Structure 1
Amino acid sequence: MKVYQEHRRLGSDIGLSGLMRTFHFVRTNRMSIALASVGAFADREDGAFAHQLLEDAKRLLASDLSGPELATLWHGGTSRDFDLEARGIEGRQWITWIEEIAEYRITWNVGDAPIPPDPPPARGLTEAVLGEIASVAPALEVATAGRPYAAVPGVVPALRRVVAEVDPDLGFRLLLRVLKAYFLRVDPALVAAYHALAERLGMEEELVDDGNFNVGPDLG
């Protein structure tokens, strides 16, 4: 019988942010392949990856974030490598499909106990994550809204809403994923700060390093 922390410590990015990393054009450019990719991610480690994925999806769907805002988060975390708008998929529908696939995978492990959600994070962590978003917000807006063929306006406001209204943990993971997806230059001191905040949030060190940070001095 697994405990909750085992589904948090898997040696890599987890949940929705981890799923985003697996989407790469042209490998996942068809709907059937995209859904299979969600299933394959949920199946990792005998279904262990399905638990955080399900928790992230449930929290987003229970929130007041709109379909377009959820699509914005998805596009930001994948640099539009699987473009929901181009396929006529509404953001809430896409997250609902992810929820259903993760939930179905968990039912395979009949002996697993239900996984209780984490207690609500301390308000201080919410403010800490919002502070990290603020520190990169101008550059992040330019990078996400201005890239040809992968422009995603409104990423920063959507991230702030996730942190403030849904879950600072998920918001922080999505922030890291967008920074990596758009290869935004990150100062080494900022990476160190991300590691420190990840520790406070109960994340593994490997989660921060899962993916490619564009690490270098701040060029202004």
Structure 2
Amino acid sequence: MILLVDERPEEVTEMEQCGFGEVIASTFDRPADRHVQVAEMTLERARRRVEQGEDVVIILDSITRLARAYNTTQAGSGRTLSGGLDSNSLEHPKRFLGSARKIAPTQGGGSLTIIGTALVDTGSRMDQVIFEEFKGTGNSELVLSRDLADRRVYPAIDLQGSATRKEELLLDDDSLWLSHAMRRQLAGQNPADSMMELLGVMRKTKSNRDLIDWVRN
């Protein structure tokens, strides 16, 4: 399920044409209360499917715009954070992300994974406060690099800024060793140089197994 909040209509159309999952959207010409309504309906549908034993993934673009919508629609608490953000407006977005979990098989199974994007470096103090509030709350963080994107180097990922919690539970011993070895090798480099070096190494091998052997030798 792809949830697009406060998005441009052409982006919605393009995503629908990709055929990658079900697209639910509220475009930027809709009021904030519509953004909130669509987000909550999507989450409720996902929960029902999880209760039926399904594994559901919600891709949310973006948590920043969703938090803005809640900030607009909610009654003020009387306490305003930096950037004009009401202190209560982040409560619902936090609940949204907090809905992600895996249900025990004895309770019907199913799981809900939420992948959310956050806007940074927009020049908006509100956006920065939202980002800082959610930073570090996820199980995995993938930081994109504008510098790499400007150079047309893809994937445009800031390797040093990206990480996954408890990666030892996801990787075998050899892959975990490779991850640690590459991080030590690339530490201290800027994101562009790090990615260029990693891509150069990967082009010399055909698989992760070959890459592990190449690095060890």
Q: TM-score, normalised by structure 2?
A: 0.34
> More helix per residue: 1 or 2?
1
Report which of the two structures shows the higher radius of gyration computed on alpha carbons: 2
Q: TM-score, normalised by structure 1?
A: 0.33
- Greater RCO structure (CA 8 Å; 6+ sep): 1
> More strand per residue: 1 or 2?
2
